[in-house]
A and B are shown apart, each in its own frame.
Chain A
Amino acid sequence: MAEPLDDYIDAVSKALALPVEDAWRPAVRANLEVSLRLGRLVDEFALPDETEPAPVFTA
């Protein structure tokens, strides 16, 4: 049975021309689940619209 993230992994793999062999898929999926879970923790924190990152770039 396909896992929930498999379609997404296939689509991004194609979009980025990034190979994901079948043998790697469970580990890639597990890592992506962790990244998205932690990403959600960041996402759900309300920041003021005016918040900017702190880039090093200096014009």
Chain B
Amino acid sequence: MTIKPESTAADIAKAVAGGQSSALAVVEAALARIKQHDTILNSFTDVTADRARARARAIDADIAAGKKVGTLAGVPFAVKNLFDVAGLPTRAGSKINRDHAPAKRDATLIERLEAAGAVLVGALNMGEYAYDFTGENVHDGPSRNPHDTTRMTGGSSGGSGSAVGGALVPIALGSDTNGSIRVPSSFCGIFGLKPTYGRLSRARSFPFVASLDHLGPFARSVTDLALAYDAMQGPDADDAACTTRGVQPVTPLLGESIAGLRVAIAGGHFQKNVFPEAVEAVGHVAKALGATGVVDIPEASRARAAAYVITTTEGASLHLGRLRKRPNDFDPAVRDRLIAGAMVPAPLVDRAQKFRRWYRAQVMELFKSVDVLLAPATPCVAPKLGQVNFTLDGVEMPVRANIGLHTQPISFIGLPVVAVPVPLEPLPIGVQIITAPWREDIGLRVAHALERMGVVSAPPPRGL
């Protein structure tokens, strides 16, 4: 077969394993496409071409020798630059961390994807220290939206959204503390999975907020998302929060019927502060799934507030030493937020953590009567780069702080979410498919059904 820029990981792996294409040819095509388009998209901060070629040759040698190869044989992928990549300093979007010694070992999730045959081709741009919803970066420049390069990718995993949305690679990894996988998925028109808190190892990635940090994949199809997710599952003693549950593969279950699943639309907080396109996108998905009921998630606005408090204070604590020693080397906007976070009184943080447990119990009650909740991934399609304010429900609000209004109350209690792209014109927008903890299988099955119905899809990059 001919590998095209939009070829899925599943098709690539099949072609490589079957001898219709070499892994090296696939990797060379990806490197050429990165070279051609990334001067505009600015999604990569490092391209690991030599490493990728060596890895691809090794896969081709294995195939020639008749050895069994993994489910992602020859599939190029890239990672947000907060993942350790052996030989590179883990910059985490910052200027300061560039002075760190190069990482000695890859992050666990990179090791697991490569064990399945995938080939790392580089590290991706991101908002500084992941405290960002825009994908803009003062040190490296903004990553750009592949559908309109004058617009934001969303953040903080902006390079991940741009690289997959621009079809430079079929799979990328990112992190999500308050929405940083789901927001770029929405703005860049791709699929993203924020798994259950603790499902995927965070070992050897640069942290932001230990209470809320998740890692997960982006892809252009649900099958690719599931293939990457399955390859990365499993316990890891190097991440204190990582589950001890065994691997629960989802790929074999994707085709199962979704009949009988109880799907509801999230009401209240999730129906406020939205532009018409977000309402339209949720409407399309709800209609396709036959969902008419609206369920109110109790105290979701307060959950968002508590997530904000925990984020700003844990983030401040993480960076306290750097704020003292190198304040002028931060993005000023990030620095000023972190300094403010250091000044929040401790009882508010304690109460936010206690509220988190209370809120979790309420939401778990809700999951006794529903299996799936639908909510907007973002209030709007991708704003213009540099846009400061938007008007929501008649109120002028800062873009940066409010893009994650609908993602924060969900990640706050670690619920798994598949962000699915609804290809509206002229720009796509995402919907959150939210399920109970450890039920990624349900979310991915629903996403797969929507994809087969033609309701959700990753549109070809229109801005390239």
- Is A47 among interface residues, defined by CB-CB distance under 8 A? yes
Q: Contacts of A35 on B, CB cut-off 8 Å? A: 308-309, 312, 340-341, 343-344
Tell me the A5-39 residues at the B interface (CB within 8 Å).
8-9, 12-13, 16-21, 24, 27-29, 31-32, 34-36, 38-39
Give the distance in Å from the alpha carbon of A47 to the alpha carbon of B299 in the complex. Answer: 13
* Chain A residues with CB below 8 A from B240, complex form: 56-57
User: Interface SS of chain A: helix, strand, loop or mixed?
Assistant: helix
Interface string of B315-359 (1 = CB under 8 A from A): 000001001100100001101110111111101101111111110
Interface flags, B180-198, vs A, CB<8A=1, else 0: 0000000000000000001
Q: Are B323 and A38 in contact (CB under 8 A)?
A: no
Shortest distance in angstroms between B325's beta carbon and chain A's nearest beta carbon? 10
Asked whether, in the complex, the Cβ of A53 is within 8 Å of the Cβ of B343, the reply is no
A43-B348 contact given A34-B401, A38-B308, A51-B357, CB 8 Å threshold: yes
Q: Is A42 in contact with chain B by the CB < 8 A criterion? A: yes
Contact of B302 with A24 in the complex, beta carbons under 8 Å = no
CB of B360 closer than 8 Å to a CB of A: yes
Tell me whether B241 is interfacial, beta carbon within 8 Å: yes
Contacts of B350 in A (CB 8 A): 53
- Complex CA gap A21/B332 in Å reads 12
Interface residue count for A (Cβ, 8 Å)?
Answer: 32
A32–B341 Cα distance when bound, in Å, is 7
B301: CB under 8 A from chain A?
A: yes
Q: In the complex the two chains form, what is the Cα distance from A37 to B299 in whole Å?
A: 16
Tally of contacts, chain A with chain B, CB under 8 A: 105
Q: Are B348 and A24 in contact (CB under 8 A)?
A: no
Q: How far is the CA of A19 from the CA of B142 in the complex (A)?
A: 28
**B residues in contact with A38, CB < 8 Å:** 304-306, 308-309
Identify which of A16, A24, A45, A54 contacts B360 (C-beta below 8 A): A54
Output the least CB separation between B89 and chain A (Å). 25
**Contact indicator A41/B302 (Cβ below 8 Å):** yes
B window 15-63: CB within 8 A of A = none
Within the complex, which residue of A12, A42, A56 is in contact with B352, where a contact is CB–CB below 8 Å?
A42
Q: How far is the CB of B272 from chain A (nearest CB, A)?
A: 15
Beta-carbon contacts under 8 Å, B79-96 to A: none
Q: Is the CB of A51 within 8 A of B358?
A: yes
Is B358 within 8 A of A47, CB to CB?
yes
Bound form: Cα–Cα A45–B358 in Å:
11
Residues of A with C-beta under 8 A to B341: 31, 35
Q: Which of A17, A31, A42 contacts B302 (CB 8 A)?
A: A42
Which B-chain residue is minimally distant from A8 (CB atoms)? B343
Chain B residues with CB under 8 A of A9: 343
> B302 and A18: CB pair below 8 A?
no
Contact A16 B340 (CB under 8 A): no
Q: Across the two chains, which residue of chain B brings its CB closest to A19?
A: B327
- A52 within 8 Å of B (CB atoms): yes
Identify A39's interface contact among B210, B327, B348, B401, CB under 8 A: B348
Assembly CA distance A19 to B342 (angstroms): 11
Distance, CA A8 to CA B304, complexed state (A): 25
Smallest CB–CB gap between A21 and chain B, Å?
A: 8
Q: Is the CB of A42 within 8 A of B343?
A: no
**B357 contact set on A, CB distance < 8 A:** 51-54
Q: A18-B339, A24-B336 are in contact. Are A42 and B327 (CB under 8 A)?
A: no
Inside 8 A of A32's CB, which chain B residues have their CB?
Answer: 340, 343-344
Chain A residues within an 8 Å CB radius of B347: 43
B86 to chain A, nearest CB (A): 27
List chain A positions with a Cβ less than 8 A from chain B: 8-9, 12-13, 16-21, 24, 27-29, 31-32, 34-36, 38-39, 41-43, 45, 47, 51-54, 56-57
**Chain B residues engaging chain A, CB cutoff 8 angstroms:** 198, 210, 240-241, 299, 301-302, 304-306, 308-309, 312, 320, 323-324, 327, 332-333, 335-337, 339-345, 347-348, 350-358, 360, 401
Some 21 contacts from A to B, beta carbons below 8 A apart, are A21-B327, A24-B332, A31-B336, A32-B340, A32-B343, A35-B308, A35-B343, A35-B344, A39-B344, A39-B352, A42-B309, A42-B351, A42-B355, A45-B351, A47-B355, A51-B357, A51-B358, A52-B357, A53-B353, A53-B354, A54-B360
Q: Which 6 A-B pairs have the closest CB atoms?
A: A31-B340, A53-B353, A39-B348, A27-B336, A38-B305, A32-B340
Task: Supply 16 further A-B pairs (C-beta < 8 A) apart from A27-B333, A41-B301, A42-B306.
Answer: A8-B343, A16-B320, A18-B323, A18-B339, A32-B343, A32-B344, A34-B308, A35-B309, A35-B312, A38-B306, A39-B305, A42-B348, A45-B351, A47-B351, A53-B356, A57-B240
